[in-house]
Amino acid sequence: MKVTILGAGTAIPARDHSPAGLFIETGGERLLFDAGPGTLQRLHAAGGNLFTLERIFLTHYHLDHCLDLASLLFALRIPGRPPRAPLTVYGPPGLKRLYRRLNHALNGWLAPRHYALRLKELKEATVKLRKATVHTRWMRHSAPALGYRLEAEGKRLAYSGDTDACEAVIELGRDTHLLILECSVPDERKVEGHLTPTECGRIAAAANCRHLALTHFYPVFKGYDIRRRVRRAFRGRVTLARDFTSFTL
């Protein structure tokens, strides 16, 4: 399983920290989790191919996590492309409404041509892929938001998307080889619906994950020792992600 973080930041521009996106190649499938602004370009830069992308999983519908869905669907309409396999997009309830409104606002230019587009709204569920399984749990955020757990090739990965501390995110990351958590703000500037470094450390320790990767950093972290705060509770491997940070599990 190859994992590439396409965006380790937020909607606020910051060097090496773009809006959310996660590209995973496993079991012969290519999966995209979240699609913040610029994800399509970073997918290309990371060696991905939008024309062979098969599944997109959106955690929620804040713009820094989903805006490039429109860019991707528009690009797939380019004339002259050969027919491709269906594209399936998953997300919490509201996905179909989001697509209809975007397509209407953009004069129908997101409607599929030469391929089938499947929109699947999820709550807490299990999705069987060809050689992998995805489990979803509700996260604690300011909008309905899902976290995703991927099990494939004997490996376990969890991606929180945006969340506050909750029991569900601990269960999502339980005994994972890689737990990818948002880490938005310093402990001293806690914002409801988002995690701080100390909270991330506690979650990782409670979940007994092997490797913790942190993303979704706001620029307020400049000069702040994130790792030291995480280490208050978690003694496993820690990665502070940047755009294009990658892992092989």
DSSP state of 83: P
pTM over 0.75: yes
pLDDT of residue 114: 87
Counting Cβ atoms within 10 Å, is residue 176 exposed (0-12), middle (13-18) or buried (19+)? buried
Rg of the chain (C-alpha set): 17
pLDDT of residue 133: 97
**Dihedral sign for Cα atoms in the order 145, 69, 19, 148:** positive
Q: Which of 16, 34, 64, 225 is catalytic?
A: 64
Q: Please list, in sequence order, all residues whose beta carbon lies within 8 angstroms of the beta carbon of residue 199, skipping any fewer than 6 positions away.
A: 165, 187
pLDDT of residue 79: 81
Q: Note the pLDDT tens digit of each residue in 125-159.
A: 999 999 999 999 999 999 999 999 999 999 999 99
34 catalytic? Reply is no
Residue showing tokens 């528009």: 74
pLDDT of residue 119: 98
pLDDT of residue 84: 82
Cβ 239 vs Cβ 214: under 8 Å: yes
Which secondary-structure segment (H or E) carries 240?
strand 237-240
Q: Note the pLDDT tens digit of each residue in 1-22.
A: 999 999 999 999 999 999 999 9
Q: Tell me which residues of the chain have a pLDDT lower than 50.
A: none
